[in-house]
Chain A
Amino acid sequence: MLKMDEIQKRLLLEVADLHDVPMGAYNLRANGKSVGRSSSANIEITPKEDGSGIDIHIKPGTKNESVHIPVVMSESGMKETVYNDFYIGEGADVVIVAGCGIDNCGTQDSEHDGVHRFFVGENAKVKYVEKHYGSGDGQGSRILNPVTEVTMEAGSSMEMEMVQIKGVDSTSRTTKANLKADASLIVRERLMTHGKQYAYSEYEVSLDGENASADVVSRGVAKDKSYQKLDLRIVGNAACHGHTECDSIIMDEGRILAVPSLEANNVDAMLVHEAAIGKIAGDQLIKLMTLGLTEKEAEEQIVNGFLK
């Protein structure tokens, strides 16, 4: 049985939908230390020699297995950078669930910077879910600066679900991907900021191989006085398909800067970008009010639906 307090258990539930120890391979990190680790026959998790993080090796052909590596922090004033490397063998088909929850009731800032590198083998298929969550009413900030680097071999595919819905004061998210021939990457990012929060999310996806494809979609809601900057960039270096989209709802005194960008270095690169920022439409509120919801309830439903 894991030794975690109630706050840590709640954070674990928020970021990984876990009530307790997950099935299969996992590594749970709480307040800077690994509090539980398990490998499976096909998935081996080993600590790096210098103690800076873990290596996850997934054997070729591993099917329908999952890896959970959530992080929870409940001590104020902690700052850590963790390096986790994933080696996904050829033809594997796995789900990887990461994520970090910070509860900061103190006066000092708490910060977790996770650097994740993925090496996705030929024809492997990965679903990656990363949720970030903050809670606690202390003066100290909750800061998360994740870095995700993806190297995708020929024919591999990866679907990334990146979610930060609540409570993170400051975040700078950097995601880079390089795709070889026939590789495909789908990113679905959802960001909600409130209070005086700041979120910066940057993607750079290079489509290097023939018929590589990427679809990067970020949906954001900026409430109160929060600020979001979204920088979504796709580079086409071969005959490839790329689509990037920033779709944002702005509320109160929120501010959003959306910078989708495309670079084509090959005449057969087909790249598209879209960006839209707007407040909740008045007729949307009215429609839901005619169903019996109050204006505030209508607003919540629209935001929840948008970020679902």
Chain B
Amino acid sequence: MLELKNISFHVTEGNSQVDIIQNLSLTVDNRKFVVITGPNGSGKSTLAKIIAGIEQPTSGQILLDGEDITHKSITERAQLGISFAFQQPVRFRGLQVIDLLRLAAGKKISHIKACDYLAEVGLCANDYLNREVNSSLSGGELKRIEIATILARKTNLSIFDEPEAGIDLWSFQNLIRIFEKMREEIEDSSIIIISHQERILQIADEIIVLADGRVQEHGAGKDILPKIMDTEASMPMCRKFQ
């Protein structure tokens, strides 16, 4: 279970202070598929980074399964069971897909196991295992590999920062299927997805709507979704691709 208590995050721009997150509190229970949405600039990605330890909150407290992790490093949080999928997956010169999957799994996994993770995200291992994670891969391919690294980690809390960003519509259809499967197989873990795509919001157990760095709404997906349809927090796909 993840608990955020009175989290604030400010940055200084020139002489003025900008409040990105303001006194935000929320709880994500185990076995929950939670989507955090809201208009651009509402603080969604910052909040995801604060949970992963990439950004430090100005004030407030973060608890993971009752343990205070507010001042723990990115590495320590990862080791405690938090995974984070980047909005813009990172490219590496030289590191291959198999290397990244092995680092994610934390051990020397076999080729067969690595194949399983890639198959889950719809990539053929023969074509990808030995590919470098560099700019020769498309945005959609990188995104799927990023998700495969999260699958390989098998952690209790997985955070995905706008998984739909920067991928083509064809890849998006497959992405939805991956998340639907993750939703079915959630067991005792929990998943937080930052997104404003309607198709992702539709499979959420809970939806949290952020606005101006605060929680505007938090409730069951079926209750929240009708309220935010056709707003900036919920954007349908182009109809031809529905």
| A291 close to B149 (CB less than 8 A) | yes
**For window 251-308 of chain A, which residues contact chain B by CB distance below 8 Å?**
281, 283-284, 286-295, 301-302, 304-308
CA distance A226 to B25 in the complex (A): 50
B2 is an interface residue with CB less than 8 A from chain A: no
Name the B residues within 8 Å of A44 (CB-CB). Answer: none
| A290 close to B78 (CB less than 8 A) | yes
**For window 83-99 of chain B, which residues contact chain A by CB distance below 8 Å?**
83-84, 86, 88-90, 92-96, 99
A305 and B104 in contact, given A289-B74, A290-B52 (Cβ under 8 angstroms):
no
| B79 close to A292 (CB less than 8 A) | yes
Name the A residues within 8 Å of B99 (CB-CB). Answer: 301, 305
> What is the interface residue range for chain B against chain A?
20 to 34
| A290 close to B83 (CB less than 8 A) | yes
B106 is an interface residue with CB less than 8 A from chain A: yes
Closest chain-A Cβ to B144's Cβ sits at a distance in Å of: 15
A247 is an interface residue with CB less than 8 A from chain B: yes
Q: Which residue of B lies closest to A294 (CB)?
A: B75
| B73 close to A284 (CB less than 8 A) | no
Closest chain-A Cβ to B75's Cβ sits at a distance in Å of: 5
| B78 close to A289 (CB less than 8 A) | yes
| B92 close to A290 (CB less than 8 A) | no
Task: Count A interface residues, CB 8 Å.
Answer: 22
| A305 close to B92 (CB less than 8 A) | yes
A292 and B106 in contact, given A286-B54, A287-B86 (Cβ under 8 angstroms):
yes
Name the B residues within 8 Å of A293 (CB-CB). Answer: 75, 103
B143 is an interface residue with CB less than 8 A from chain A: no
Closest chain-B Cβ to A68's Cβ sits at a distance in Å of: 27
Name the A residues within 8 Å of B93 (CB-CB). Answer: 247, 305-306
A305 and B95 in contact, given A286-B54, A291-B153 (Cβ under 8 angstroms):
yes
Using CB atoms and an 8 Å cutoff, list the residues of chain B in contact with chain A: 52, 54, 73-75, 78-79, 82-84, 86, 88-90, 92-96, 99-100, 103-104, 106, 149, 153
Contacts A293-B103, A305-B95 aside, 10 further interface pairs with beta carbons under 8 A come to A219-B94, A283-B86, A289-B74, A291-B103, A292-B78, A302-B95, A305-B92, A306-B95, A307-B94, A308-B96
